[in-house]
Structure 1
């Protein structure tokens, strides 16, 4: 009897482990959505600290409006396109490991935009400030 209980317990644990693994299968839709959300938060923080700091340093306060336009017209739609590409996957595609390369490429592009644009705007503002 004890042997039977031990075997049943081991089978239950193995089944639970398999269920946990299946639950942990990566959902590309959710992962891209999370990356886009975090990238927008990081972009906004960098934008505030770098770009606004450069505007104060150079005295070009009207560039704040330009930077806001870049955010609204450039970054948000671009991020939404990345997210939409992954959001439209069906359930079987959403956890297909074959998509990991495409996911990584899009993830890198999202983060390059989020990290690169605030630095590029800061350099642009400083260059404009030195010319004026």
Structure 2
């Protein structure tokens, strides 16, 4: 994510739209290079990433409950699924905070730079891979450990 900060540092100064034609001071992008009435609100990468983090946490929580309940039924009275739950909670919170803090460091002008789209897509993919994959991966790991140590 350091590349986002480096890239954002090379953006034009606030109030200067020389390198980004069609961007107004109000934060809108003109599709017709200045034609009034045909403006679309610019994307705020900070807000979009924050929204994805919130939804990913909801999906993660639902998957975690589903996967953990399945493991609890399969292993009876073992404490291993509870340990897996603690590990998963401890793992996801710092990861989500890291994603959000990277994007919240952007200035208002940087947050609307269309050139950050590839970085946003990369981080969004990594976030969803964690949110969906982590519950299954760790539960599989703990189930494997339970089989080995029986």
TM over 0.5: yes
Q: Secondary structure at the match of 2:43?
A: coil
Choose from 38, 54, 67 the match for 1:17. Answer: 38
**Whole-Å separation in 2 of the counterparts to 1:87 and 1:34:** 12
Give the alignment's Cα RMSD to 1 decimal: 1.7
Higher RCO, 1 or 2 (CA under 8 Å, sep at least 6)?
1
Aligned to 1:75: 92
Conserved? CA contact 1:82–1:106, under 8 Å: yes
TM-score under structure 2 normalisation?
Answer: 0.69
Conserved? CA contact 1:51–1:119, under 8 Å: no
**Whole-Å separation in 1 of the counterparts to 2:74 and 2:145:** 12
Q: Secondary structure at the match of 1:16?
A: coil
Structure 1 runs of 4+ off > 6 angstroms?
none
Q: Which has the larger radius of gyration?
A: 1
Pairing 1:89–2:106 present:
yes
Conserved? CA contact 2:68–2:139, under 8 Å: yes
Choose from 30, 50, 63 the match for 2:47. Answer: 30
User: Number of aligned pairs?
Assistant: 115
Conserved? CA contact 1:32–1:86, under 8 Å: yes
1:1-132 → structure 2 map (5 Å cutoff): 15-18=36-39, 21=40, 23=41, 25-59=42-76, 61-131=78-148, 132=150
Aligned to 1:10: none
Greater per-residue helix proportion: 1
TM-score under structure 1 normalisation?
Answer: 0.78
